[in-house]
Structure 1
Amino acid sequence: MSTARTAISVAELTAYIRDLLEGDRLLQQIVVAGEVSSLHEHSRGLFFTLCDPHEDAAIQCVVWNSLRSRLARQPQRGELLIVLGSLRLYPKRGEYRLTVFQAVAIGEGLQALQYQQLRSRLQAEGLFDLERKRPLPPYPQTIAVVTSPTAAAWGDIQRTLARRYPGLHILLSPATVQGIDAPDSIVEAIEKVNRDGRAEVLILARGGGAVEDLSCFNDERVARAIAQSKIPIITGIGHQRDESLADLVADFSAHTPTAAAETAVPLYSQLVIEHQQRVTALIEVCQRRIDLESKRLEQLETRLKRFPSTSPQLLQATARCQLLKQKLMALDPRAVLQRGYAVVREENDTIVRSSSNLATEQTLKIQLGRGVIKVKITEILQ
């Protein structure tokens, strides 16, 4: 028998599985207990995930709008619920979902309780404080990205950085961002970037997904690795409304990987505009200074042109100075000596003004126009 004769279509296989599931009486009305891990409103109803707090297992649930008013309890994220519903398979996506008819709350879920306890402890240690947030470099030259190399987030970040800031050096530190191994992988990738030392800022990113897929970003090891990083960290994790612990510890939190890349670097075209504005402002300042100095120069030129009108006063002042100079020269003792006069001094340099105080054999000094001579008195004539 050929393979073609034994193969069945996808629709036939899906119909067969649906008949098995929906035909099982146990699954037509089944009571399930679990913790609500994610929840979102839709125009057709309320969609949420019910997970096992002790095992890695979850099931998708829906309460259609026609049934919501009958619920004893509207599902809330983080609480334990007992739900009554039936299992349905949707052929278009090949997915099964629990259609919920009734829901009863039985307390707070274990995961939600553990999350709140860890969040409170980290907050008490100051890991969320604004004072410890490191500033992002305004013009980074090298950026590191911690994400999965096969994820769409990596491509989005590369395209955004290349568009906004050409010439940037981008380093990829690959990590697993989903599953049980993700926390250790993320921690190792962050530490690797810090050891390398080239990056000026680090982007920790992952695309959108269910809360269960993003649980690694609520891991204590990841939160502490972010806090201990020497390099500022920007998170761009999913499209969830609720912040993860990684978001709270990070230096800046963006809603998507693309938004994280936009935060990390400035827009090059805007930098060009700002540079042109600064150049224009500098030219204007220089031009104003040139205009001011030109006006001062004109004022000085005008004053110089008026200077000849003051020359009679200048000539009169010059003549007076010459007269005073001549008077000073006439009173200068050296000028008198030059005309043949002499100054007679005793040996103690006292000027001799009368012969009555002199005696014979006394030595005197006579200062001439040029030089000094010593003489001895031989005779005093009255």
Structure 2
Amino acid sequence: MNAVSLIADSALSVAGLTDYLRLLLEQDQILRQVWVIGEVSSANHHRSGLFFTLQDTDSTVSIKCVAWNSQLAKLAQIPVAGEQLIILGSIRVYPQRGEYQLTVWQALPAGEGLQALRYQKLKRRLQTKGLFEVERKRSLPPHPQIIAVVTSATAAAWGDIQKTLKHRYPGLQVLFSPATVQGELAPVSITKAIKRVEQDGRAEVLILSRGGGAVEELAGFNDERVVMAVANCTIPVITGIGHQRDESLTDLVADVCVHTPTAAAEKVVPSLSELYTQHRQRVTSLQEAVSSSGEFAQKQLQEFKNRLCRLGLEKQVQQETLLLSWKRQKLLQVTRGKLQESSQHLEMLRQKLASIDPKAVLQRGYAVVRQENGAIARSASELTVGEDLLIQLGQGEVKVKVMEVEELPQKQRKSW
């Protein structure tokens, strides 16, 4: 028989080890009836009883507790998150998960928990600074091309975010800035991860996320360093921390807050399938609008045609055509009359002009005598012997020289 066989024969099964631990713990005289003081960090009612977590005031050490329904009515104080309690109970082992818990027999009030007091004090101080105001929150970009994610590299949250982003918006560039998201190192780690994203400068929006878990593990997101890093971040921040029942101070200062990593990924990018569906709906709506507009215009056109038929427009056009024809004939008649009258008047004027035309007088045997300077000679006394004259006849001109001037007697001059 070899060494492996010997070890296998002596090894305990998981159930055997768990049962051994159960007997060891549950039969211990101190652990069968022990008083424990701590702060209730979370409490949830189930059908079988009240399950809550008791946490140390000055550390992250905690223990799970249960008060069964049969014992709840006997408790002096019902456990509520944020309260300090003194618990009387006994240690019991839960074999299915290999965990131990404190079964509660009594709960006494010990004042408000220190963690709760610290939380409320910081919350009031941040609220006074206006960090929770809606006016300071920025909207997320509708179609980001580069986003950053701050979460744990080993957490299921990172896998959920990647899967959701790839399904909804393929081709998106994701910058991963890893951080420790629970425990004492979480505040410094988260703050550094956010600063790395800001220094890189490419991301248009930042997802700060962690998976589900106990409320006690949210302590890092209530740390003032983390809260201020988110509040002062130069790009929009969306948080997906814990579950719906949980709320952290980081959630309150973030630009957008959802309850899970998957919800954050869904919120930060649109779904291509939804965008395509919306596009098809818009196309359909536009087609319906155009079709409806065309039908309405066609109905209006037909209505106008019907109204024109009822008005007897064709008959009116015929009447107007006849009227225009009659007016045309009348205008032509008036024009001919005016033209004839004008022609007659023109002929009369022409005859008058002809009667006083000097050329016509010359045609009858008269002549016009002009002196050398072109003036018409009207009296013999104006002429001198030897003067050249120009005589204009009905046809042609004659140049003569005055040989002798004879003046008419005085009587004839007057009668002339």
Task: Give the TM-score normalised by structure 1.
Answer: 0.76
Q: Does 1:131 align with 2:131?
A: no
Following superposition, the deviation at residue 139 of structure 1 comes to 2.1
Matched with 2:248 is 244
From 87, 92, 108, the equivalent of 1:104 is 108
Matched with 1:53 is 57
Matched with 1:189 is 193
Change (3 A) 1:166 1:25: same
Matched with 1:277 is 281
**8 Å CA contact 2:164, 2:265 repeated in 1:** yes
Where does the alignment leave 5 or more consecutive residues of structure 2 unmatched? 343-352, 354-372, 379-416
Q: Which whole-Å CA distance do the structure 2 matches of 1:319 and 1:148 have between them?
A: 105
Matched with 2:395 is none
From 267, 271, 277, the equivalent of 1:263 is 267
Q: Does 1:167 align with 2:175?
A: no
SS at match of 2:31: helix
Q: Does 1:122 align with 2:94?
A: no
Q: Which whole-Å CA distance do the structure 1 matches of 2:294 and 2:26 have between them?
A: 89
**8 Å CA contact 2:147, 2:205 repeated in 1:** yes
Matched with 1:353 is none
From 9, 19, 41, the equivalent of 1:37 is 41
Matched with 1:144 is 148
From 216, 221, 232, the equivalent of 2:225 is 221
Following superposition, the deviation at residue 14 of structure 1 comes to 1.9
Matched with 2:87 is 83
Q: Which whole-Å CA distance do the structure 2 matches of 1:280 and 1:160 have between them?
A: 29
SS at match of 1:241: coil
Change (3 A) 1:295 1:40: closer
Q: Deviations over 1:329-361 (max 9, x none)?
A: x9xxxxxxxxxx9xxxxxxxxxxxxxxxxxxxx
Following superposition, the deviation at residue 3 of structure 1 comes to 2.1
Alignment of 1:268-307 (within 5 A): 268-286=272-290, 292=297
Matched with 1:7 is 11
Following superposition, the deviation at residue 147 of structure 1 comes to 0.9
**8 Å CA contact 1:208, 1:240 repeated in 2:** no
* Deviates further, 69-78 or 261-270: 261-270
Change (3 A) 1:293 1:170: farther
Q: Deviations over 1:285-318 (max 9, x none)?
A: 555666749987xx89x9xx97996777778679
From 69, 74, 77, the equivalent of 2:78 is 74
Matched with 1:347 is none
Matched with 2:346 is none
| Equivalent AA in structure 1 for residue 119 of structure 2 | Y
Following superposition, the deviation at residue 20 of structure 1 comes to 2.1
Following superposition, the deviation at residue 379 of structure 1 comes to 7.2
Matched with 2:117 is 113
Task: Give the TM-score normalised by structure 2.
Answer: 0.70
Following superposition, the deviation at residue 16 of structure 1 comes to 2.2
Matched with 1:352 is none
SS at match of 2:158: helix
Q: Deviations over 1:229-278 (max 9, x none)?
A: 12211111111513110111111111111111121122322211221222
Following superposition, the deviation at residue 143 of structure 1 comes to 2.1
Q: Deviations over 1:198-228 (max 9, x none)?
A: 2222211111111111111111111111111
Equivalent pairs counted in the alignment come to: 332
| Equivalent AA in structure 2 for residue 225 of structure 1 | A
Q: Which whole-Å CA distance do the structure 2 matches of 1:287 and 1:240 have between them?
A: 47
| Equivalent AA in structure 1 for residue 110 of structure 2 | I
Q: Which whole-Å CA distance do the structure 2 matches of 1:190 and 1:235 have between them?
A: 12
Change (3 A) 1:314 1:205: farther
Q: Which whole-Å CA distance do the structure 2 matches of 1:265 and 1:380 have between them?
A: 120
Q: Deviations over 1:135-167 (max 9, x none)?
A: 112222222211112111111112222222233
Matched with 1:63 is 67
SS at match of 1:26: coil
Alignment of 1:293-372 (within 5 A): none
Matched with 1:203 is 207
Matched with 2:389 is none
Q: Which whole-Å CA distance do the structure 1 matches of 2:202 and 2:298 have between them?
A: 49
* Deviates further, 137-146 or 253-262: 137-146
Following superposition, the deviation at residue 89 of structure 1 comes to 1.7
Change (3 A) 1:31 1:287: closer
Following superposition, the deviation at residue 123 of structure 1 comes to 0.7
Please tell me whether Structure 1 or Structure 2 has the larger radius of gyration of its CA atoms: 2
Q: Does 1:253 align with 2:276?
A: no
Change (3 A) 1:93 1:308: same
Q: Which whole-Å CA distance do the structure 2 matches of 1:319 and 1:273 have between them?
A: 74
Q: Does 1:234 align with 2:238?
A: yes
Change (3 A) 1:107 1:273: same
